[in-house]
Amino acid sequence: MKCSLYISFQHLEQDAASKAHHCANTNVSTTPPNAFTKMTQTNIHRLVPYFTSLIWLVNGLFCKVLNLVPRHEQIVSRILGHDHSRLLTISIGLSEILMSAWILSGLKKRLCAVTQIVVVAIMNTLEFIVVPDLLLWGRLNSLFAFLFILLIYYNEFVLNKQITKPDVLTP
């Protein structure tokens, strides 16, 4: 009995040494793959709101309120009329700045995500139909808007679920 127990422990030590040697020679991490994936997903989930907030801030403040990109006022003028286009452009810009602040606040994240998706979809549909000639990339702008919508959706409704669900331990 004592001999077979000694052989079993010796066998386990050899297996462990063999696996360690194999991992060292093949650059395989001993960290479980879920831990790394979850860490990466968490980092992405934390960074996306800063990225989307920056997009809203730049478009609202620089492009519309400060009028550094006059094309934005031309778009508003053609869609909503020329009479009050500057005032409407500033109002839209201030709304975009508020959207940026809302994203950074972290309040009612799902409502914020849905609001962004709806606003981007409506704005880009109108621009696609009414003023494609004034868009930076023409009708191709709709592709970038769609990718932006996908990013917002994925971050809040897919990635958020994946990083908040508890790990399942397997025996």
Report d(CA 87, CA 6) in Å as an integer.
86
Say what the pLDDT of residue 12 is. 44
pTM: 0.75
pLDDT tens for 79-129 read: 999 999 999 999 999 999 999 999 999 999 999 999 999 999 999 999 999
Which band of pLDDT confidence, cut at 50, 70 and 90, is reported for residue 167? Answer: low
Which band of pLDDT confidence, cut at 50, 70 and 90, is reported for residue 6? Answer: very low
pLDDT tens for 22-53 read: 545 555 444 455 666 767 888 899 999 999 99
> Are 49 and 171 in contact, with CB atoms under 8 Å apart?
no
